[in-house]
């Protein structure tokens, strides 16, 4: 996510202009937008002219800038777009005001959102922005005599390091360990969640063994993948095989899985946990919540007035944050989120037992 600007709108609303840079960003936005929010962007709309009506041509499409009051939001995963429908409340053509329109937001489309943002919604946008600026995955490719390190960001890949060290026989040959040492040292300085080590033959496994012996913390983040090339071509092979997507997904899941494991262990042993809206709300009232776990899908339903909780979930979240607790919004797309759904969509890890 790229945030272009931030400011104040009318009636105390905050205005954020941003650009979603991948499908993940569109998905994040689907959980930020709510009924009544104002969303502005460029679009096309079919305009019926008098002569068109006479000939029944259906009108012509014109480019225009619109602001709509959000009525419904749909994340079309397989179309790679976010559909935001509602009434046009601002438009470069006044005759279109009051009509219904659907903005199809795709990757790299700039949109402006004006609303009373809740803290977790701002956190979600800022975390998506940070993910774009700070790559969480690197691809290291290695073969005899050379190694490369590429960072993987939401906007593409970039080579950060390249090493050459002729190995084998001859006057200028160097031990393989020198190449592996440079590779390991460079990787140890990079603050990333996962490393994909790729290349042809057995050299990559020898490199991994060296790193495991000298930089065990780095080796723990490594996944080994076979490719026929190194450098840019090797990186292309890794991306084509979907290895990066798999690693990034597993990294996100692992963070949620750790929390759900702690929760389930607490349920099994009767220790410092709560689940279900009533129990969690009570724990929040007493300031006992260390980490609040809430499902994004359920959170959205409650905020849209489509849920059945008797407690205002926003008040629970605000209470937890005021008293120094953390809030983790789980994705309904992954197994930890499905486990949380089975527990009512909300739970908490507590600082102390209430009973």
pLDDT in tens, 120-174: 899 889 888 877 655 578 999 999 889 999 987 654 677 889 998 765 545 555 6
With 90 as the cut, is the pLDDT of residue 348 above it? Answer: yes
pLDDT band at 59 (very low <50, low <70, confident <90, very high): low
What percent of the chain stands above pLDDT 90? 55
- Predicted pLDDT of residue 239: 84
| pTM, full prediction | 0.57
pLDDT digits (tens, 9 = 90+) for 276-310: 999 999 999 999 999 999 998 898 888 878 889 99
Q: Which residue's entry shows tokens 């559909």? A: 83
Report yes or no: 275 and 346 within 8 Å, Cβ to Cβ. yes
Report yes or no: 331 and 337 within 8 Å, Cβ to Cβ. yes
3-state secondary structure of 103: strand
- Predicted pLDDT of residue 51: 55
In order of start, what are the domains of the chain with their CATH numbers? 2-49+56-132 (2.30.30.870), 137-241 (3.30.420.60), 252-350 (3.30.1330.30)
Report yes or no: 4 and 19 within 8 Å, Cβ to Cβ. yes
Instruction: Looking at mean pLDDT, say which of 11-25, 55-69, 103-117, 161-175 comes out highest.
Output: 103-117
How deeply is 63 buried, as exposed, middle or buried, from its count of CB atoms within 10 A (0-12, 13-18, 19+)?
exposed
- Predicted pLDDT of residue 134: 54
Mean pLDDT of the residues in the chain = 87
- Predicted pLDDT of residue 256: 85
With 60 as the cut, is the pLDDT of residue 69 above it? Answer: yes
- Predicted pLDDT of residue 332: 83
3-state secondary structure of 232: helix
What angle, 0 to 180 degrees and rounded to 10, lies between the N-to-C axes of helices 231-240 and 243-269? Answer: 50
- Predicted pLDDT of residue 156: 60
């Amino acid at each position: 996510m790229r945030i272009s600007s931030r400011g104040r709108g009318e009636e105390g609303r905050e205005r954020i202009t941003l650009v979603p840079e991948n499908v993940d960003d569109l998905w994040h936005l689907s959980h930020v937008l709510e009924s009544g929010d104002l969303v502005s962007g460029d679009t096309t709309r079919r305009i019926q002219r008098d002569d068109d009506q006479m000939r029944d041509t259906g009108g012509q499409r014109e480019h225009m800038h619109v602001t709509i009051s959000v009525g419904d939001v749909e994340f079309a995963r397989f179309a790679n777009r976010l559909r935001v429908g509602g009434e046009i409340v601002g438009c470069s053509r006044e005759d279109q005001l009051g009509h219904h329109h659907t903005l199809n937001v795709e990757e790299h489309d700039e949109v402006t959102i004006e609303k009373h943002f809740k803290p977790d919604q701002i956190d979600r946008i800022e975390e998506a922005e940070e993910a774009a600026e700070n790559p969480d995955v690197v691809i290291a490719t290695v073969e005899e005599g050379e190694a490369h390190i590429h960072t993987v960001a939401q906007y593409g890949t970039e080579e950060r390091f390249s090493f050459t060290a002729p190995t084998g026989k001859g006057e200028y040959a160097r031990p393989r360990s020198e190449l592996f040492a440079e590779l390991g040292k460079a990787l140890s300085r990079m603050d990333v969640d996962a490393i994909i080590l790729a290349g042809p033959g057995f050299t990559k496994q020898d490199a991994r063994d060296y790193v495991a012996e000298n930089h065990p913390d780095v080796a723990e983040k490594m996944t080994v993948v076979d490719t026929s090339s190194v450098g840019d071509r090797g990186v292309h092979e890794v991306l084509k095989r979907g290895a990066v997507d798999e690693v990034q997904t597993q990294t996100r899941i692992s963070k949620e899985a750790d929390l759900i494991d702690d929760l389930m262990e607490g349920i099994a042993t009767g220790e410092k946990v709560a689940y279900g809206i009533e129990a969690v709300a009570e724990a929040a009232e007493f300031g006992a919540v260390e980490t609040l776990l809430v499902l994004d899908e359920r959170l959205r339903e409650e905020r849209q007035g489509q849920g059945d909780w008797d407690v205002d979930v926003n008040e629970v979240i605000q209470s937890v944050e005021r008293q120094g607790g953390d809030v983790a919004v789980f994705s309904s797309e992954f197994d930890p989120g499905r486990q949380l759904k089975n527990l009512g969509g909300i739970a908490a890890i507590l600082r102390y037992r209430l009973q």
